[in-house]
Amino acid sequence: MTLDAAVTGAPLLSVRDLTKHFPITGGVMRRVVGAVRAVDGISFDVAPGETLGLVGESGCGKTTAGRAILRLIEPTSGEIRFDGTDVRALGKEPLRKLRRQMQIVFQDPFSSLNPRMTVGASVREGLTIHKLAEGRAADARVRQLLEEVGLRAEHATRYPHEFSGGQRQRVGIARALAVEPKFIVCDEPVSALDVSVQAQVINLLQDLQRSHGLAYLFIAHDLSVVEHIADRVAVMYLGRIVELANADDLYSMPLMPYTQALLSAIPVPDPEAKRERIVLRGDVPSPANPPSGCPFHPRCQHPQKDAACSVIVPPLELKEPNHWAACIKQLPTRISWADQKAAGASRQPERVVPIRAIA
């Protein structure tokens, strides 16, 4: 399966069948009695200079996926290729060298900076570790980086507590930028910020992307922010990617019933907007004990849902050009009607797409 038909040329990052299972131990002997399948076989590509949005609700595995790609946590299985390098095969030292190319910006600018280091020292760290600059050259580079992210050069001597949330997030971005990466995992970079400040940081990320040709994996639960910033979007549910498409296509014609419900749940800042909301019943099931078949079937609102949905694991398949979704009831599907009937199906697959109200 190629997930990058939209992308010409080689992808910068290519992830195949990535899994991360956390063991659950029990009893006095702390034996492994099960596993939380936080990431359960995901595949996608990121092209140079592209933004791939990764969305989903708490516990869907999006943050774990982002960290597993950078090997900040070790993946259980799967393949990660970055610029042709097999990331999982790297030893400690080569991995550290590669991290110059792949950086991360965290959600919480309060806890991701060392409170006892000046922000200048924090930004400088990467330069020292990767031997990019020393002494005066490093000082100059730090000042330049701070100005690039919209702070002042003299801020270098201040401590994190002297900054507002938005300013701290700018420091976090300067830190990532210091080593001149090609790719940054942005893990909920604006979720902790107020609306007006959030807009400033989003603009900054977009400006930097253009000037440095950066590729982003933009992880967020805020679907409006992702729609604004992403070229393509992957939706995760219980450790799997359930839909992947160009942002415009995904938002205008979501095909996986979960994506449809997710999009319809976003509150629209327009009191005149009339639309049909799909309110999902129940909670997200535990990834330690996911439902059989399609992980979404217990909450699914697709009118053709039937017994086969709790048996057949839906493959992420091409439904439209460059638009993948995992649903055996949403046509077209390569799971034949005969196979569905054998699994207990009583309702024919059918294409169901809600109409999106434009605000």
Is 30 exposed, middle or buried (CB count within 10 Å of its CB: 0-12, 13-18, 19+)? exposed
Q: How far apart are the first and last CA of the chain?
A: 36
Is 118 exposed, middle or buried (CB count within 10 Å of its CB: 0-12, 13-18, 19+)? middle
The residue ranges that bind another protein (CB under 8 A) are 57-58, 149-152, 155, 164, 166-167, 170, 194-200, 202-204, 206, 221, 223-225, 227-229, 247-248, 251, 261-262, 264-273, 277, 279-280, 282-284, 358-359
Neighbour tally for 127: CB within 10 Å: 20
Minimum separation from the CB atom of position 149 to another protein (A):
7
Q: Comparing C-alpha atoms, which of 128, 121, 129, 113 is closest to residue 146?
A: 121
CB 174 within 8 A of CB 187: no
Q: Comparing C-alpha atoms, which of 145, 141, 118, 146 is closest to residue 131?
A: 141
Minimum separation from the CB atom of position 119 to another protein (A):
13
Nearer to another protein, 134 or 248 (CB): 248
Nearer to another protein, 259 or 330 (CB): 259
Minimum separation from the CB atom of position 337 to another protein (A):
31
Q: CA 335, CA 24: separation in Å to the nearest integer?
A: 34
Minimum separation from the CB atom of position 203 to another protein (A):
5
287 token code pair? 């990834």
Nearer to another protein, 71 or 158 (CB): 158
CB 12 within 8 A of CB 46: yes
DSSP string, 238-281: TTEEEEEEEHHHHHHS--SHHHHHHHHTSPPS-TT---------
User: Which residues fall within 8 angstroms of residue 133, CB to CB, at 6 or more apart?
Assistant: 127, 140, 141
For the chain, give the number of residues: 359
Minimum separation from the CB atom of position 207 to another protein (A):
8
Minimum separation from the CB atom of position 13 to another protein (A):
21
Nearer to another protein, 91 or 269 (CB): 269
Minimum separation from the CB atom of position 74 to another protein (A):
28
Q: CA 69, CA 71: separation in Å to the nearest integer?
A: 5
Nearer to another protein, 14 or 259 (CB): 259
Nearer to another protein, 11 or 109 (CB): 109
Nearer to another protein, 10 or 265 (CB): 265
Minimum separation from the CB atom of position 188 to another protein (A):
13
Nearer to another protein, 157 or 346 (CB): 157
